[in-house]
Chains A and B, each alone.
Chain A
């Protein structure tokens, strides 16, 4: 137990250090005329994916393309483009890949509804298994004669 605690301190520090790195990556000196635009910019770079790195958003990536794309998002937001217009701009150039929140369309139905379908299949399977086990238990434990005997004993 003691050993685990001893090890977990550097591990925790490492995790903290890594987190601070990703946070630093996104600090560009962009200014915004109002707080609302800053919020929108931050949420956009949070939900747009870095095209070069498979599992990072624009906010967390230090790659050149992410820097350029953050600059574009900043420019588009300042130009008064809506969030959807910024997403469309990116999607036209980089495709669905850049959207961490993919649109609902025929090619993404599996992605959106697959988990729900799987969940319901799991529930059905579970209900049937429990049902079978339950009824099987009732049938097997006592025969009719034994059940009568048990009832007699209990009612005494």
Chain B
């Protein structure tokens, strides 16, 4: 009795294993989205020109001082057009500084693009050879980083930002960082 039944159970066992494997496999996140290595690491050092003001040299220090968003974009990137209205909204309504990294692009094209679609960025870092992009682990635009006041990367989003992603994922991070900062400033004052 027991011998026969055991071998009959093998196909069922294989089937259950298959269901579990496939279930886990299909419910994994989009394999195109790489986990970022840069979370909790300082924003990479860079020296680059500003898009509208080539005489101005931007460095990592320009990003520091308050919590900010850094958006990697390019004129060749169709999803950048799609996310652009949301960036404009954030720059007007959310009170968080938004900086651009013009990635692998041409300055004149980028300037024209911003004239056409309106400029939400406080300044744009010209990354015309993609060097900063590589240091940021960028593999496709758009990508958006949340950088804290000390210049440390706290969050990264790959792909276009929309209202839902901003409200559910990014805003909580920004608010948390701001409260942390206020708390540490208060502690400083009390001391």
Asked if A68 contacts B137 (CB within 8 A), the reply is no
Given contacts A64-B104, A68-B104, contact A93 B31 (CB under 8 A): no
Q: Check: B130 CB closer than 8 A to any chain A CB.
A: yes
Q: Check: B160 CB closer than 8 A to any chain A CB.
A: no
Asked if B36 contacts A95 (CB within 8 A), the reply is yes
At the interface, is chain B mostly helix, strand, loop or mixed? loop
Q: Check: B122 CB closer than 8 A to any chain A CB.
A: no
Number of A-B residue pairs, CB cutoff 8 Å, is: 40
Asked if A93 contacts B137 (CB within 8 A), the reply is yes
Q: Which of B32, B34, B37, B134 contacts A69 (CB 8 A)?
A: B134
Nearest CB of B to A61, in Å? 11
Q: Check: B54 CB closer than 8 A to any chain A CB.
A: no
1/0 per residue, CB under 8 A from A, across B100-134: the answer is: 00001000000000000000000000000110011
Q: Which of A52, A54, A69 contacts B140 (CB 8 A)?
A: A52
Q: Check: A72 CB closer than 8 A to any chain B CB.
A: yes
Q: Kindly report which residue of chain B lies nearest to residue A125, judged by CB atoms.
A: B10
Q: Check: A91 CB closer than 8 A to any chain B CB.
A: yes
Asked if A65 contacts B32 (CB within 8 A), the reply is no
Nearest CB of B to A103, in Å? 14
Residues of B within 8 A of A68 (CB): 104, 129-130, 133-134
Asked if A97 contacts B34 (CB within 8 A), the reply is yes
Q: Check: B169 CB closer than 8 A to any chain A CB.
A: no
Given contacts A64-B130, A91-B37, A94-B37, contact A54 B135 (CB under 8 A): no
Chain A 21-58 interface residues, beta-carbon cutoff 8 Å to B = 51-52, 54
Q: How many residues of A contact B (CB 8 A)?
A: 14
Residues of B within 8 A of A64 (CB): 104, 130
Asked if A95 contacts B134 (CB within 8 A), the reply is no
Residues of A within 8 A of B140 (CB): 52, 65
Residues of A within 8 A of B138 (CB): 65
Asked if A54 contacts B31 (CB within 8 A), the reply is yes
Q: Which of A51, A72, A91, A92 contacts B139 (CB 8 A)?
A: A51
Q: Kindly report which residue of chain B lies nearest to residue A89, judged by CB atoms.
A: B134
Asked if A95 contacts B139 (CB within 8 A), the reply is no
Residues of B within 8 A of A51 (CB): 34, 137, 139
Asked if B32 contacts A54 (CB within 8 A), the reply is yes
Q: Which of B31, B32, B104, B137 contacts A94 (CB 8 A)?
A: B137
Chain A 54-94 interface residues, beta-carbon cutoff 8 Å to B = 54, 64-65, 68-69, 72, 91-94
Q: Which B residues lie at the A interface, using CB under 8 A?
A: 31-32, 34-38, 104, 129-130, 133-140
Q: Which 7 A-B residue pairings sit nearest by Cβ, starting from the closest?
A: A51-B139, A93-B137, A68-B130, A95-B37, A52-B139, A97-B34, A65-B139
Q: Which A residues lie at the B interface, using CB under 8 A?
A: 51-52, 54, 64-65, 68-69, 72, 91-95, 97
A sample of 6 cross-chain residue pairs with beta-carbon separation below 8 angstroms, ordered by A number, consists of A51-B139, A65-B130, A68-B104, A93-B137, A95-B34, A97-B34
